[in-house]
Amino acid sequence: MTANPEIFGTPRNTATISYGDLAELLATIFRHAGASPAVASLLAANCAGCERDGATSHGVFRIPGYLASIASGWVDARAEPRIESAEGAVVRVDAMNGFAQPALELVTPILIEKAANDGIALLSIRNSHHFSALWPDVEPLAEAGLLALTMVNSFACTVPFNGHSPVFGTNPIAFAAPRADAPPLVADLATSAMANGDVQIAFREGRSLPPGHGVDSAGRPTTDPAAVLNGGALLPFGGYKGSTISMMIEIFGAALTGGKFSFEVDWSTHSGAQTPHTGQVLIVISPDFGRRDSSFGRRVNGLVEQLRMSGVSRLPGDRRQVTRRRSLRDGIVMPLQQLEDLRRRADGV
Amino acid sequence: MTANPEIFGTPRNTATISYGDLAELLATIFRHAGASPAVASLLAANCAGCERDGATSHGVFRIPGYLASIASGWVDARAEPRIESAEGAVVRVDAMNGFAQPALELVTPILIEKAANDGIALLSIRNSHHFSALWPDVEPLAEAGLLALTMVNSFACTVPFNGHSPVFGTNPIAFAAPRADAPPLVADLATSAMANGDVQIAFREGRSLPPGHGVDSAGRPTTDPAAVLNGGALLPFGGYKGSTISMMIEIFGAALTGGKFSFEVDWSTHSGAQTPHTGQVLIVISPDFGRRDSSFGRRVNGLVEQLRMSGVSRLPGDRRQVTRRRSLRDGIVMPLQQLEDLRRRADGV
């Protein structure tokens, strides 16, 4: 894992760009980097969507990492995912050493059909790279009326509770639940105490990490993001319990899919590689299947209302929704220099 | 929630009893309390199993709570669960205001068949009471070769992150993964900072709680278990992230099943009621479905080995396995007075 603080300088002036223009710009950059048009479009839409929603740790900030990984030959940005089996309620896909998103895109219609017919469906992706947030994978499924849960393991950067060396990745889990007459409730959380992207941003911005989030290369607690990035490691969130959930994500993301465990990811032969090469699992549920009523969306609203009444002012995804509406209305605000860098890259300069 | 410290005194002498004899004793007690023979046998085997495995917070310690709940008319210990639908890969069961375990027992053969045919199956239980640990629900499924995940919500006793009043239950999640040539890997964790049973045991034993685990009736942090039990509340584990997982469990346990949210459980009209009346969800996966090889169990072993090499000396379920072997060999060790109390109850004294 290498941060790329040299690419983007300190913001002085800002500029705005529409979501569509940013996605087009990024697609051009991905194509220049060797991605197939289909993969370039998908990654660009995903990355521009993160930037649009204020999820900057998975937005344009990630472009150098994507490009370095592609350039290193570690990930195949021209890969065409292959369906290995689609029996019963299970779809198994080999991402062919490409990104996970094209695999998900390929089988989403099958998943939706299976969930409609059987009530539940499982998507298992192996031989895949995931370098973005997880919420973009589940939100569209919830917008299609499905309850969706996904887990992905990454690369060994998190020391298990009571262990002394990294075994787990940041191992995020995300879920999205449809609501009645409202955007879905969407949550996405790393099971490490913080996300790698946030460590990289803290490093770039010269900020310390909160205590209890990381260790240095000797396993000693540290608040220095550079020490975590240079041979150190993260800790799981929530001690023993968070560590147990991270272990579950290794089992679902790797043992179940046939992908690599986080500790098996070895990119030492590919200088610049940054995209974890593992697996991903999605469970998709038709929430009112087998019931006489179709109350699920209203029931989720009831929970949301109770949480608001309890004083919870911000639910998972709230900030993204607000930022998305503002970005779609006023354009995405970015540091001018960052946007100019992107334009130079797109022009092949 | 009421602790029952008056039932069992401080252990002075101990006695041993076999698992089979303890289960029989408890079944007699449940039958005397009005449970049907089928429900009595299931609850007794479950509770004796917890005691056998050293999971004492869900063992014999819970008997007074079970009996008070049954006596109050809050839960129907003679209920016969009813299958509402079993289409596709989904089984929906109405537990008929009885315990969840008879519902699970009833449909386990169907679940196993569906998982074999479709690769994944969903069990949704509503109108059910769950007063035990969750690991006994998933361990037998993993012993049958299935990857199993379950979630159950409970009753409002946990304040969401950034909230000021209880919304969530202790909301446990459990999973079990089959291993090759070894007992399954089984984990069970409350998403509250601690389990209610452990608060009750701390109260009984006069111990303080660790800081950050609970609040008193005014919402102030406290380490006094009595303050938590008497109008106070627990906190989620792991701050914002643990709170988000607890929210997910409300959605799966209640919105998906048609059961009550934890904050909707109102037992104020049933003095002595202690069993949360909500819902439970189980997802059961045939882990090698749709694959050419059957590597899942060996892959889980590989993860376990890596965790041991990283210095993790105790994996989830390890302690239960050790205690179980000892109990099956030497008998279950219990305080003599506790065993005498049980025998008096069984004799109807």
Residues of B in contact with A163 (CB under 8 A): 307, 310-312
Question: Per residue in B261-301, pLDDT tens?
Answer: 999 999 999 999 999 999 999 999 999 999 988 999 999 99
> Is the CB of A256 less than 8 angstroms away from the CB of B187?
no
Interface test with B, best of A247, A292, A320 (most B CBs within 10 A): A247
User: Sorting pLDDT into bands at 50, 70 and 90, what band is B196?
Assistant: confident
Q: Average pLDDT of B195-223? A: 89
Partner B contacted by A185 (CB < 8 A): yes
- Range with the poorest average pLDDT among A20-29, A197-206, B256-265, B297-306: A197-206
Nearest CA-CA distance, residue B64 and chain A, Å: 29
Give the helix ranges, DSSP H, for B73-144: 100-118, 135-143
Tokens coding A191: 């099971």
Nearest CA in chain B to A118: B88
**Residues in Cβ contact with A43 at an 8 Å cutoff, skipping those fewer than 6 apart:** A26, A27, A30, A35, A66, A77, A99, A101, A132
Q: For residue range A167-180, what is the model confidence (pLDDT) as tens digits?
A: 999 999 999 999 99
Q: Does the structure show a pLDDT above 50 at A308? A: yes
Distance CA B12, CA A106 (A): 66
Chain CA centroid to CA A125, Å: 14
Say how many Å lie between the first and final Cα of chain A, rounded: 26
- The helices-and-strands tally (H runs, E runs) of chain B is 11, 12
Predicted confidence at residue B195, as pLDDT, reads: 82
- The mean predicted confidence, pLDDT, of chain B is 94
Residues facing residue B165 across a β-bridge: none
Write the pLDDT tens digit of every residue in A252-278.
999 999 999 999 999 999 999 999 999
Cβ under 8 Å to B: A residues 89-148: 89-92, 117-122, 124, 147
Q: Give the lowest-confidence range in A181-195, A329-343, B210-224.
A: B210-224
User: How many whole angstroms separate alpha carbon B269 and alpha carbon A191?
Assistant: 41
- pLDDT recorded at residue B122: 98
Query: Average pLDDT in the A297-318 region?
Result: 97
Question: What is residue B220's predicted lDDT score, i.e. its pLDDT?
Answer: 87
Report the percent of chain B where pLDDT is more than 90: 90
Contacts of B290 in chain A (CB under 8 A): 84-88, 90-92, 124
- Whether residue A307 and residue B160 make contact (CB cut-off 8 A), yes or no, is yes
- Cα–Cα distance measured from residue B132 to residue B149, given in angstroms and rounded to the nearest whole number: 16
Whole-number pLDDT of residue A12: 60
Using the structure block, give the residue that is written with the tokens 């992908």. Answer: A259
Residues 6+ away with beta carbon under 8 Å from A258:
A92, A124, A126, A127, A279, B291, B295
Tens digits of residue pLDDT in B241-251: 999 999 999 99
pLDDT tops 60 at residue A55: yes
- B253 touches A: beta carbon within 8 Å: no
Tens-place pLDDT, residues A3-31: 444 444 444 699 999 999 999 999 999 99
Q: Are A279 and A122 in contact (CB under 8 A)?
A: no
Active-site residue, A198 included? yes
B57 flagged as catalytic: yes
Query: What is the predicted pLDDT for the residue at B291?
Result: 94
Å from A276 to nearest chain B CA? Answer: 17
Report chain A's C-alpha Rg in angstroms. Answer: 20
Pick from A78-87, A194-203, A326-335: least confident: A194-203
DSSP letter assigned to residue A75: S
Strands B147-152 and B172-179: antiparallel
* Contact between B213 and B195 (Cβ < 8 Å): no
Q: How far is A327 from chain B (nearest CA, A)?
A: 26
The whole-angstrom separation of Cα A287 and Cα B281 is 12
* pLDDT (average), residues A51-66: 95
Q: Is the pLDDT of residue A197 over 90?
A: no
B32 in active site: no
Residue A335 amino acid letter: P
Q: Strand A120-129 vs strand A90-99: parallel, antiparallel, or unpaired?
A: parallel
d(CA A88, CA B111): 14
Contact: B119, A316; criterion CB under 8 Å: no
Banded pLDDT at A42 (limits 50, 70, 90): very high
Contacts of B255 in chain A (CB under 8 A): 177, 287, 295-296, 299-300, 303
B163–A311 C-beta distance less than 8 A: yes
Quote the minimal CA–CA distance from A23 to chain B in Å: 30
User: Does B6 have pLDDT greater than 50?
Assistant: no
Judged against a pLDDT cut of 90, whether residue A198 lies above it is answered with no
Query: What confidence tier does B7 reach under pLDDT thresholds 50, 70, 90?
Result: very low
Amino acid at B135: W
Average pLDDT over residues A294-304: 97
Q: Which chain B residues are within 8 Å of A177, Cβ to Cβ?
A: 251, 255
**Share above pLDDT 70 across residues of chain B, in percent, rounded to a whole number:** 96
The single residue listed with the structure tokens 């396993």 is A219
Domains of chain A: 1-71+331-349 (1.10.1530.10), 81-192+236-316 (3.30.1370.60)
Say whether A210 sits in a helix, a strand or coil: coil
- Residue of A41, A53, A57, A137 marked catalytic: A57
In angstroms, the CA B156 to CA B276 distance is: 9
List the single residue in B120, B300, B314 with the smallest CB-CB distance to A122: B120
Q: What is the CA radius of gyration of chain B?
A: 20
Position B12 scores a pLDDT of 61
CA B35 – CA B46 distance, rounded (Å): 15
DSSP one-letter code for B280:
E
Which entry of B58, B129, B213, B277 is annotated as an active-site residue? B58
Question: Average pLDDT of A193-212?
Answer: 89
Please state which of the ranges A130-144, A271-285, B199-213 shows the lowest mean pLDDT: B199-213
Q: Touching check for A263 and chain B: CB below 8 Å? A: yes
What does the DSSP assignment read for B284-319? EE-TTTT-SS--HHHHHHHHHHHHHHTT----TTHH
Which residue of B117, B312, B313, B314 to mutate against A (max A Cβ within 10 Å)? Answer: B312
Residue A6 contacts residue A330 (beta carbons within 8 Å): no
Quick one: tokens of A319?
């900030």
